[in-house]
Amino acid sequence: MSVLRMIYLGFAILGTIIPMMAYLPWMQETGAGPLALIAAWKANGATTGLYYDLLISAFALNTWILAETYIRKDYWVLICIPIIYLIGVSAALPLFLFLRTRPVT
């Protein structure tokens, strides 16, 4: 495995762990679920701006993954689509890059 692929994998792991270190304790403290989390993202102008920034990034990444799947016929990268919306772009993008840079047979 190349150094670049190891870096992508490391970012995917960090992109999963670090956001969850913030989300899970907040959900446990408040007893809130995913809908309350989305409402919290829209609590003020700053968080709303970040919410829409990540939402547009998620849609763009989703489009890229689908286009690459169609062109390269590499169906394993489709696992990144649910990860975009269940964990976040911070996990899905580096995972997609990790998968995309492997040899396709």
What is the arithmetic mean of pLDDT over 31-46?
A: 83
Q: CA distances (Å), 86 to each of 1, 5, 6, 89, in order?
A: 27, 23, 23, 9
Q: What is the pLDDT of residue 74?
A: 87
Q: Which H or E run includes 62?
A: helix 45-72
In angstroms, the CA 19 to CA 21 distance is 5
What integer best gives the mean pLDDT of the chain? 92
The token pair that represents 37 in the structure block: 């989390």
What is the arithmetic mean of pLDDT over 29-43?
A: 82
Residue carrying structure tokens 């990540």:
54
Q: What is the pLDDT of residue 104?
A: 65
